[in-house]
Structure 1
Amino acid sequence: MEIKALYAGSFDPLTLGHLDIIERAANIFDQLVIGVVVNLEKKTMFTFEERMEMIAEATADIPNVKVDMCDGLLADFVNKNRFNVVVRGLRGTGDFDLEQQMAQLHKHLYNEKTETVFLMADAKHAFVSSTMAKQVISLGGPGEDLVPPCVLKRMKGRLNK
């Protein structure tokens, strides 16, 4: 049986921590879909289209990864696309509490055969968040250890305008 997994998030911007989870999940599952969440109420640095493009560029060398739009209720997207697994990345215990509650809610909303799988962040990325990356780079700090090169280039271009 082919195992199809979803890794969903806003990815504003995609960080090296996200990319690490993507690479590791792609090694575990047959197919991995990166679901870029559309949240019209959230102010983002990058448009939905820009985030899709950056993720596609950063994952271009991973053959079993595809990028898709995830709008509406995550459970509806999971059920419609028949995902076997939803992947969530954890940086630490603070993330676990919220993610555990979300996993329990989603289990209630998904079909019963869909499981949530948690992958712990690699220690070298455990401190990285999209918010922190935006702050550091916007203040002129180094971003090479925070975001992929294609993202850093766009961030610097956006911030230099």
Structure 2
Amino acid sequence: MRRAVCPGSFDPITNGHLDIISRASKLYDEVYVAVMINKSKQGLFGIDERIDLIRQVTADFGNVQVEAFHGLLVDFCKQRDIPAIVKGLRAVSDFDYELQMAQMNNGLSGVETLFVPTNPTYSFLSSSLVKEVATWGGDVSHLLPDVVTEALLRRLREK
């Protein structure tokens, strides 16, 4: 069984994230979406909310599992016998950072990293940018799955 992981904080998941996960799900038998727990960072959505949203928007893929993780991604991979990490690259600046991470992960455990170029439609997209635009009343509905847009707008109204 060919397995891969798509890691991230997904606060919230965007259409760019979803594009990479979708493409990975066509290349691998099982794709794990590893949702990072960073206790030093306060996200807009709690970990359980992020997992729920990701499960909703990936349900049709049929081979995607969503789990939280804390610690080293290579440990997550070892525990589940996952030999590959799939990462989307938006720009050269992403590559510089991600190459260092890929080399470290490979050196620690032999896990390979595959870089997938982001669809140009989403090359500028980040969760942080989406949250900022939405906070100031900008329309982000074309950047997120519908259920995520609804959750984001509801959360911003609560604040």
TM-score (norm 1): 0.95
Q: Does 2:66 correspond to 1:64?
A: no
Tell me what 1:52 maps to: 51
Tell me what 1:145 maps to: 142
Q: Does 2:108 correspond to 1:109?
A: yes
Q: CA deviation at 1:156?
A: 0.6
Unaligned runs of 5+ in 1: none
Task: Give per-residue Cα distances to partners, 1:8-49, cap 9 Å, x unaligned.
Answer: 110011011000001001011111000001110011000000
Residues 105 and 112, structure 2, Cα contact 8 Å, conserved in 1: no
CA distance in 1, matches of 2:65, 2:11: 18
Q: Does 2:123 correspond to 1:126?
A: yes
Q: CA deviation at 1:79?
A: 1.1
CA distance in 2, matches of 1:89, 1:82: 21
Tell me what 1:24 maps to: 23
Q: Which moved more, 1:68-77 or 1:19-28?
A: 68-77
Unaligned runs of 5+ in 2: none
Q: Does 2:41 correspond to 1:42?
A: yes
DSSP-derived class of the 2:68 partner: strand
Q: CA deviation at 1:138?
A: 1.1
Moved over 4 A (4+): none
Percent identity over the alignment is 39
Q: CA deviation at 1:141?
A: 0.7
Q: CA deviation at 1:143?
A: 1.1
Residues 13 and 130, structure 1, Cα contact 8 Å, conserved in 2: yes
Report the RMSD for the aligned CA atoms in angstroms: 0.8
Task: Give the count of matched residue pairs.
Answer: 158
TM-score (norm 2): 0.97
Q: Given residue 154 of structure 1, which amino acid in structure 2 is its aligned partner? A: A
Tell me what 2:77 maps to: 78
Residues 8 and 37, structure 1, Cα contact 8 Å, conserved in 2: yes
DSSP-derived class of the 1:13 partner: coil
DSSP-derived class of the 2:60 partner: coil
